[in-house]
């Protein structure tokens, strides 16, 4: 695409040439002894240039100058610069090829976000929307401009339910940030997915400070101090329950400890999870108290199909598939009608097959710990 060299860009390049410029294939230097400039790109190199000749070369390769001015000459935080370059695949494509692509829009995915970088009217602009809204015209989406407005988007899902975990795959749809600059884009992403850009950059730089489960557990106090009791196997169950793609879009980097990796899938997310989050710790606290219970043997009478139906129910609830199973899908074990039929047949006085949870001789005082635990919750 054709890029116009602006006066302020050339002036910035002219001043920087005194110290030497080398960025993404662009080189520019000034020799005070000969009062001449040198200008180079992978396609062209010129020495002994006057200031007007230097300006002519820069104008002919304005895309290289614009790219340098945007990424190198502008004051940006290292993580923001690296992220914006990642968005347009700067490490993979030469400047002219990349600028041609930016004219049509370069798109990346970040969790459930679809980010499009464009070059229009001589400046980079970014559009941000939900991946499920691809192809939807902007006028049919709720438009936002202020990065802080993303707080409302992140708060609830499409059904209006509160989202305690911001990186859960439940971000609501139907919105667009249509005209963000680089700073606003990263700020908006930080509101939707806190610290993900920063941790992504730290990981790329080899500086991600991971806090593993055991050291995280040892830091807990009060009612959460009990999570230290969990064994490696139980921590494995927690990771498999909470820290997979269906529950969280982060890629788990923490393990039991630095020397004891967990076998649970780490996830495929672009951004890393450097420590067990507060939601995982809260769930672990509850599971710790539940794991203190002794196992008991219960005897139920079920048909083979009813046993398989209970197994299907557990799988459907654990995988969040209950909403997908229609009333007419009566061959599905987690079908609502089948579940209601099973309840009518096998639940008596609130107990499966009429079998009480506690033996009849169990005293009411034996439940005191459970009640206290519930009060703490």
My answer on whether 199 and 135 are in the same domain is yes
Q: What is the pLDDT of residue 308?
A: 94
Supply the pLDDT for residue 237.
93
Domain for residue 354, yes or no?
yes
Are 198 and 233 found together in one domain?
Answer: no
pLDDT at 75: 66
Cα gap 293→295, rounded to integer Å:
6
Say yes or no: 236 and 119 in one domain: no
CATH number, domain containing residue 167: 3.30.1360.190
Domain limit, last residue, from 291, 320, 337: 291
Alpha-carbon gap, residue 183 to 75, rounded angstroms: 11
Burial class (CB in 10 A: 0-12, 13-18, 19+), 148: exposed
Domain final residue, candidates 38, 56, 71: 71
The range of the structural domain enclosing residue 341 comes to 304-376
Beta strands in the chain (DSSP E): 21-23, 26-31, 36-41, 44-49, 106-110, 113-120, 123-130, 142-144, 175-180, 251-252, 272-273, 347-348, 351-352
Give the list of residues 6+ apart from residue 7 with CB closer than 8 angstroms, or none: none
Answer yes or no: do 86 and 57 share one domain: no
In a domain, 296, yes or no: no
Question: How many domains, in total, are found in the chain?
Answer: 4
Which residues, 6+ apart, have CB-to-CB distance to 260 below 8 Å? 232
| Cα distance between residue 107 and residue 57, in whole Å | 31
Q: Is residue 349 part of a domain?
A: yes
Task: Please list the pLDDT of the chain residue by residue as tens digits (377 residues).
Answer: 789 999 999 999 999 999 999 999 999 999 999 999 999 999 999 999 999 999 999 999 999 999 999 998 776 789 999 999 999 999 999 999 999 999 999 999 999 999 999 998 888 999 999 999 999 999 999 999 999 999 999 999 999 999 999 999 999 999 999 999 999 999 999 999 999 999 999 999 999 999 999 999 999 999 999 999 999 999 999 999 999 898 999 999 999 999 999 999 999 999 999 999 999 999 999 989 998 889 999 999 999 999 999 999 999 998 888 888 998 888 899 998 999 989 999 999 889 999 998 876 444 444 444 444 544 44
Query: Same domain, yes or no, for 160 and 127?
Result: yes
My answer on whether 166 and 138 are in the same domain is yes
Q: CA-CA distance, 146 to 185, in Å (whole number)? A: 10
Same domain, 236 and 329: no
Q: Do the beta carbons of residue 283 and residue 239 sit within 8 Å?
A: no
Query: At which of 267, 291, 315 does a domain end?
Result: 291
* 269 assigned to some structural domain: yes
Q: Looking at the structure, do residues 84 and 66 belong to the same domain, yes or no?
A: no
Inside any domain, residue 299: no
Residue 351 lies in a domain: yes
- Of 160, 161, 252, 169, nearest to 212 by C-alpha is 252
58 and 152 co-located in one domain = no
* Domain contains 47: yes
Instruction: Say which residues have a Cβ less than 8 Å from residue 267's Cβ, sequence separation at least 6.
Output: 243, 244, 245, 248, 249, 250, 251, 252, 273
Is 298 part of any domain?
A: no
332 and 368 co-located in one domain? yes
CATH number of the CATH domain containing 283 = 3.30.70.2320
Tokens of 140: 């049919």
141 and 63, same structural domain?
no
Taking the C-alpha atoms of residue 148 and residue 190, their distance in angstroms, rounded to an integer, is 10
93 and 192 within one domain: yes
């Amino acid at each position: 695409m054709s890029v116009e060299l602006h006066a302020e860009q050339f002036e910035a390049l002219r001043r920087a040439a005194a110290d030497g410029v080398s960025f993404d294939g662009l080189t520019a230097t000034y020799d005070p002894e000969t009062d001449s400039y040198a200008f180079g790109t992978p396609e062209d190199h010129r020495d002994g240039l006057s200031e007007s000749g230097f300006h002519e070369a820069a104008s002919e390769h304005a895309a290289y100058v614009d790219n340098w001015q945007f990424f190198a000459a502008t004051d940006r935080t290292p993580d923001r610069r690296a992220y914006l370059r990642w968005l347009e695949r700067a490490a993979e494509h030469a400047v002219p090829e990349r600028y041609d692509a930016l004219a049509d829009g370069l798109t990346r995915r970040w969790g459930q976000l679809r980010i499009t970088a464009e070059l229009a009217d001589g400046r980079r602009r970014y559009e941000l929307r939900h991946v499920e809204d691809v192809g939807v015209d902007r006028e049919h989406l709720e438009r936002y401009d202020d990065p802080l407005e993303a707080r409302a988007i992140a708060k609830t899902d499409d059904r209006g339910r509160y989202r305690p975990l911001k990186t859960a795959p439940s971000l609501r749809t139907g919105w667009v940030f249509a005209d963000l600059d680089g700073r606003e884009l990263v700020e908006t992403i930080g509101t939707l997915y806190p610290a993900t850009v920063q941790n992504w950059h730290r990981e790329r730089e080899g500086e991600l400070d991971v806090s593993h489960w055991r050291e995280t557990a040892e830091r807990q106090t009060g009612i959460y101090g009990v999570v230290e009791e969990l064994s490696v196997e139980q921590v494995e169950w927690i990771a498999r329950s909470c820290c997979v793609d269906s529950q969280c879009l982060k890629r788990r980097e923490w393990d039991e400890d630095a020397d004891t990796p967990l076998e649970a899938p780490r996830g495929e997310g672009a951004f890393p999870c450097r420590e067990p989050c507060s939601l995982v710790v809260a769930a672990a606290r509850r599971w710790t108290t539940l794991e203190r219970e002794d196992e008991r043997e219960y005897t139920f009478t079920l048909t083979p199909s009813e046993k398989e139906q209970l197994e299907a129910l557990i799988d459907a609830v654990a995988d969040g598939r209950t909403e997908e199973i229609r009333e007419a899908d009566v061959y599905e074990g987690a079908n609502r009608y089948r579940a209601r039929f099973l309840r009518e047949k096998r639940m008596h006085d609130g107990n499966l097959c009429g079998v009480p949870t506690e033996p009849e001789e169990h005293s009411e005082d034996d439940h005191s710990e459970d009640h206290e635990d519930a009060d703490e919750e």
